[in-house]
Amino acid sequence: MRSYSLNRTKTKRPKNEWDNDFYTKTMAKVHIDQGHLKKAAEIYQYLLKITPDKPDLVRALSDLEEQITENRQNNSAKLVNLFSQWIDLVHRYKQLQRLEKTSKRFKGLNRWEVADGERYF
């Protein structure tokens, strides 16, 4: 039986260096398509550090920052709407609980009862 030894030495790179290998305009566009706008902005910022003389990167980053701002504003409006709906549902739920409690209290009173020759509800 032979024994094999693999003497491979791996050079360890900092995690950020591995990540930066994939920092390209194409990867930024992929992140935008997937909705990861902050990650795309991070990639554009990194690319601008390396090549500050690219006006297309500056334009892409500014467009992306505008989109991020618009998304924040839209999200705020959606949250206000959802919160209003939630408050309305809580209010309706409490009303329903009160009606059910009242209904249980008066459950036996909805049939005819005869007392002293008169009918009562």
Sequence-distant (6+) residues with CB within 8 A of 38 are 68
6 domain-assigned: no
120 domain-assigned: no
What CATH number is attached to the domain comprising 22? 1.25.40
Mean pLDDT of 36-54: 93
**pLDDT tens for residues 69-105?**
998 888 888 899 999 999 999 999 999 999 998 888 7
User: For residue 29, is pLDDT > 50?
Assistant: yes
Mean pLDDT of 51-64: 93
User: For residue 13, is pLDDT > 60?
Assistant: no
Domains of the chain: total: 1
| Cα 31 to Cα 42: distance, rounded to the nearest angstrom | 10
